[in-house]
Chain A
Amino acid sequence: MELTDRAAVDEVLAGKHESFRVLVDRHGRKVFGLAYRMTGNEQDADEVVQETFLRSFKRLSSFESRSSFSTWLYRIASNCALDLLAKRKQDKLHLVENERPEEDGNREERALEYAAPDPDPERMLLSSELRDRVAKAMQRLTAVERTAFVLRHFEGQSISEIGAVLKVKDEAVKNTIFRAVKKMRGELEPFTAAGALKGGLR
């Protein structure tokens, strides 16, 4: 019989560290999905996945069965992604500071290019422009807005679960999601109006 998450945690805490693999096998892909949507590229997502499991392993003793293991793990993953986004922002600032002087608009555009996802063949198709728009619109969100939006829109987490990740109250989460949606609409609605979103991307 397959180990439950709780049983695997107990075995690891009892010294059988190999049982941690059960948790990695069971949750690895989902953590990657969350990390990818939060960071916007595979390399950073892989880094977040590694850090998430490493951090959760070290903090396993603080896991109490108040919430499911997956909720606890995704909370750690969200925090790891937030930390990485903050680090990338710093890196980008340094990068921009070190560039030769140029127009502000170009500079912003260039900073965004560094964070844009790697190109892939799918993006050569008809919907590629729209996907780029979504990706760029998401890059324009602040780290906190992006976290709240990804967790609500893609992961379907509740307001209070998102509040626990961001360590803010429900009202603040609602405001953050609203700000994020407003920005996304601002970027994408010209396409909606032009009918480019006909049929959607799903």
Chain B
Amino acid sequence: MTHVSEQDLVLYFYGDADTPALLDQHLADCPECSAEFARLRTTLSAIDFPVPERAPEYEAQLWSTLRPRLQQADAPKRSFWSAALQPRRWAIAGALAAIVVAAFLAGRYLPRGKEKSNPEMVQKAPARSGGDRVLMVAVGDHLDRTEMVLVELVNARAEGKVDISAERGAAQELVNSNRLYRETAQHDKDPELASMLDQVERVLVDIAHHPDSVSGKELEELQQHIESQGILFKVRVVESKVKARSRPESAGATKKETSSTL
């Protein structure tokens, strides 16, 4: 007699088995499987993780903490996303980001007369921490906006004709700033960040190359492309690291340290 696999028993326990009637019958006829299922059931039935009681005024306290934060947040409106993704806003954001990067690059790579005349001072100065933070703030904002576009596309309903013009326009803008950051990371010998930005860029280019209006099937393919690469997860992970690098307390972090964490 072929026995039931452990995985099938787990599915059966939770009511997710494809053929529960067959399993019922088998467990009635097979003492070994029946004993194995009894062991599984005993263990799983005993697993509890009690939630601590909340005070009766929990909701009132929660609301009083939340309320000021909600007041500071962007008010939700029906057109929130389309407004947030307006190409004009992205163009301004992209231009600002480009200025930040240009300033960073100028600071880093243009010759500085005073420093040349005082090599000791250059040696003692904390290596590139200020510039690195400036760049990380800009990259963090960039990844924030990238995440917003990807989340919006992944969650869009793939039915009929779908208007993705806002996301497409945003992706177009992001491609340009992404390229700038990627080249900077490469130049700066930060291969992990450069590699991640390279992957992001390919996805953004793909989005930007789509028409404003796509069919449900095309959107599904695009969603699969985004999801198959796990790009959203990677963006979130790198974004949190980049934000950590942009905080003043991480100013002393060496490049070796940051590279190993990315």
Instruction: Please give 20 more A-B residue pairs, beta carbons under 8 A apart, in addition to A17-B70, A61-B81, A178-B6.
Output: A12-B76, A24-B62, A25-B59, A29-B58, A36-B51, A36-B52, A37-B49, A54-B70, A58-B73, A59-B80, A61-B77, A61-B79, A90-B241, A122-B50, A134-B49, A138-B49, A174-B11, A181-B10, A185-B43, A200-B48
Of the candidates A21, A50, A201, which one forms a contact with B48 in the assembled complex, judged by CB atoms under 8 Å apart? A201
Determine how close the nearest CB of chain B comes to the CB of A138; give it in whole angstroms: 7
Determine how close the nearest CB of chain A comes to the CB of B86; give it in whole angstroms: 15
B16 at interface (Cβ–Cβ under 8 A)?
yes
Interface size on A, residues (CB 8 A): 58
Q: Please give me the 6 A-B residue pairs with the lowest Cβ-Cβ distance, nearest first.
A: A60-B76, A200-B46, A197-B46, A33-B51, A61-B80, A25-B59
Interface residues of B in 68-92 (CB under 8 A from A): 69-71, 73-81
A154 at interface (Cβ–Cβ under 8 A)?
yes
Residues of A within 8 A of B (CB): 12-13, 15, 17, 20-21, 24-25, 28-29, 32-33, 36-37, 42, 49-50, 53-54, 57-62, 64, 66, 83, 86-87, 90, 120, 122, 130-131, 134-135, 138, 152-154, 159, 167, 174-175, 177-178, 181-182, 184-185, 188-189, 192, 197, 200-202
Could you write out 21 A-B pairs with CB less than 8 Å apart?
A: A13-B76, A15-B75, A17-B70, A21-B63, A37-B49, A50-B65, A50-B69, A53-B62, A57-B70, A57-B73, A58-B73, A61-B78, A61-B79, A134-B48, A177-B14, A178-B10, A181-B40, A182-B6, A185-B40, A200-B46, A201-B47
Closest partner residue, chain A, to B79 (CB atom): A61
Complex contact B49–A154 (CB within 8 A): yes
Answer whether A83 and B69 are a contact pair too, CB < 8 Å, given A61-B76, A138-B49, A178-B6: no
Closest partner residue, chain B, to A186 (CB atom): B43
Complex contact B154–A174 (CB within 8 A): no
Residues of B within 8 A of A (CB): 6-7, 10-11, 14, 16, 39-40, 42-52, 54, 58-59, 62-63, 65-67, 69-71, 73-81, 154-155, 157, 227, 236-237, 240-241
Complex contact A83–B236 (CB within 8 A): yes
Determine how close the nearest CB of chain A comes to the CB of B33; give it in whole angstroms: 16
* Residues from chain A with Cβ under 8 Å of B52 in the complex: 36, 42, 120
Closest partner residue, chain B, to A37 (CB atom): B49
* Residues from chain A with Cβ under 8 Å of B40 in the complex: 181, 185
Would you call the interface of chain A mostly helix, strand, loop, or mixed? Answer: helix
Complex contact A174–B16 (CB within 8 A): yes
Answer whether A192 and B11 are a contact pair too, CB < 8 Å, given A37-B51, A90-B240: no
Q: What's the Cα separation between A175 and B45 when bound, in Å?
A: 20
Complex contact A62–B73 (CB within 8 A): no
Complex contact A202–B48 (CB within 8 A): yes
Q: What's the Cα separation between A33 and B49 when bound, in Å?
A: 10
Answer whether A202 and B43 are a contact pair too, CB < 8 Å, given A60-B76, A174-B7: no
Of the candidates B14, B39, B59, B80, which one forms a contact with A24 in the assembled complex, judged by CB atoms under 8 Å apart? B59
Closest partner residue, chain B, to A199 (CB atom): B46
Closest partner residue, chain A, to B70 (CB atom): A57
Determine how close the nearest CB of chain A comes to the CB of B192; give it in whole angstroms: 14
Q: What's the Cα separation between A131 and B48 when bound, in Å?
A: 8
* Residues from chain B with Cβ under 8 Å of A61 in the complex: 76-81
Complex contact B43–A197 (CB within 8 A): yes
Complex contact A32–B54 (CB within 8 A): yes
Determine how close the nearest CB of chain B comes to the CB of A153; give it in whole angstroms: 7
Interface centre among B49, B59, B73, B157 (most CB of A within 10 A): B49
Of the candidates A21, A177, A178, A189, which one forms a contact with B39 in the assembled complex, judged by CB atoms under 8 Å apart? A189
Q: What's the Cα separation between A62 and B151 when bound, in Å?
A: 11
